[in-house]
Amino acid sequence: MIIENIKSQFPIFSKQTNGKQLVYLDSSNSSQKPISVINSLDNFYKNEFSNIGRSIHKLAVNATNRFENTRMSVKNFINASSKDEIIFTKNATESINLVATTFGQKYINKGDEIVVTELEHHSNYVPWHYLRENKGAIIKFAPINNDGDIIIEKLKDLITSKTKIIAITHLSNVTGTIVPIKEIVEIAHKKNIPVLVDGCQSAPHIKIDVKDLDCDFYAISCHKVYGPTGVGILYAKKKWLDVLPPYIGGGGMISEVKKEKISYAPLPEKYEAGTMPTAEVVAFNESINFMNSIGIENIVRHEKELTNYALEELRKINSVNIIGNPKNKAGVISFTIKGIHPHDISTIVDEEGVAIRAGHHCCQILHEKFKLSATVRASIGVYNTKEDIDILCKAIEKCRKVFDLK
C-alpha cells in the first residue's frame, strides 16, 4: 500500500475552494470519509435498507447480518474476546455515559472516589461529575507534568480503598500524549479497580488490543475512525456487562415484557435499545477494511514521520510555542503564537485552505494547567502529507505577516 495513494480515496480532497486545495488538519475533531464508506451508506439506503433484528423478511435478515458483520469486525479490530463485548452506541461520549451511569448506579455511593486525569476531554469528566452531583462521589485528578505526561507515581498516590474506578484517555486530544494504559491497568487491577479507557483519539492512530491492555471498558467514536457520524462503540469485559444494569430502555433490549415485570435481552442487545444507526454501522465495516488495507503498522509509521516533520518545521517558525512534549506522541500538535490569538490564526490559515481548530478543544482543565485560554491545534490523519505541513507552515507565516510580527 502506497501512502501517497490514500488521499485520492477521499472525495473531499478532489475539490478546491477559492482555487486552494483543502489541507485538512482537524482529524482529532473528526476524520474525513473514504469513498468506500460513502458508497456503502449510499448502497445500503438505495438497495438494502431495512431495520434489523425484528422482521423476518429477506431484507431484514440481510441488514441484520450486515450489522452483525461489523460487530465481528470491531471485535477483531480491537482484539476483544467475544462479539458480545461490543456494544454500538451513538458515540464515545455515550459509551462513557453508559458506563458512568450503570456502574455508578450499582457501585458508587457517597464518598466513593473516581480517578480521572488532567488530560481528559470533557466527555471523560462530565459524566463522572454527574455522580459527584447525584451520589456524592469524589473526583480526583491525576496530575500531568509540563511535558503533558501523566505522573504515574502521583496517580498511584491518589488510589485509596474508596477508589471505585479509574477513567483515563489513551491519547490526549491536545498534547498528543500516548498514555501507558497497560501500566496503569496493572496498577489498578492489583487493587481490584476497573479501568475505563477513552479511546476516542487512539482508535484511528495506534494499535488497539483490549486483551493486551486488559482494560475493563474502552470507548470509541466511529466518525474519528474514517467512519460515519452517529455510531460509537463501547467495549466492555463480559463480566461487567453481565452484572451492570441496562442503560436506555425500549424496544430491542428486552426479553419478555409483562405488566408486572420485564426481563432483558442477552448481550449485546441488552444495551442497544431502539432503532440503531443501521446504515452507519454497516458502513463502518468499510472504515475498518480501509484501516486494515493500509495496515495499522504502516499508519503508525506514516503518522509518526509526519508528526516529527511537522514539529521540526513548526519549531523553525519564530514565536511558535508547542504545548507539551510527551515521551510518546501521536499526531496531535497544539500550539500558540506569541502576539496572535488562536482564533485569528484559524481564520487566516482557513483562507489558505488549511482547516485547523482553535479553542480549548473541550479540555479546559488542561488549558488551565498550562495557563492558556485557547490554543491552535493541527491534528494529522492518515491522508495527510508533508506537502500539507508545508502549506500549514506557509499559512502561519502569512498570519505573522498580517500581524506584522518580527
| Residues of the shown chain interacting with other proteins in the complex, contacts defined by CB under 8 A | 18, 340-344, 347-348, 351, 358-360, 364, 367, 373-374, 402-404
Shortest distance in whole angstroms from residue 287 CB to other proteins? 29
Which residue lies nearer to other proteins by CB, 129 or 154?
Answer: 129
> Which entry of 215, 222, 362, 363 is annotated as an active-site residue?
362
Q: How far apart are CA 378 and CA 401, in angstroms?
A: 20
Shortest distance in whole angstroms from residue 359 CB to other proteins? 5
Per the structure block, which three cell numbers stand in for 101? 451511569
Shortest distance in whole angstroms from residue 169 CB to other proteins? 21
| Neighbour tally for 90: CB within 10 Å | 18
Shortest distance in whole angstroms from residue 341 CB to other proteins? 4
Q: Are 197 and 215 in contact (CB under 8 A)?
A: yes
Which residue lies nearer to other proteins by CB, 78 or 374?
Answer: 374
Name the CA radius of gyration of the chain, rounded.
22
Q: Is 362 a catalytic residue?
A: yes
Shortest distance in whole angstroms from residue 360 CB to other proteins? 5
Which residue lies nearer to other proteins by CB, 227 or 342?
Answer: 342
Which residue lies nearer to other proteins by CB, 48 or 344?
Answer: 344
Q: How far apart are CA 279 and CA 223, in angstroms?
A: 13
Q: How far apart are CA 105 and CA 138, in angstroms?
A: 15
Exposed (0-12), middle (13-18) or buried (19+): which is 132, by Cβ within 10 Å?
middle
Which residue lies nearer to other proteins by CB, 193 or 372?
Answer: 372
Q: How far is CA 355 from the centre of its chain?
A: 19
Closest by CA to 88, choosing from 73, 101, 106, 103, is 73
Tell me the longest C-alpha to C-alpha distance in the chain: 76
Closest by CA to 162, choosing from 116, 193, 183, is 193
**So which residues are the catalytic ones?**
362
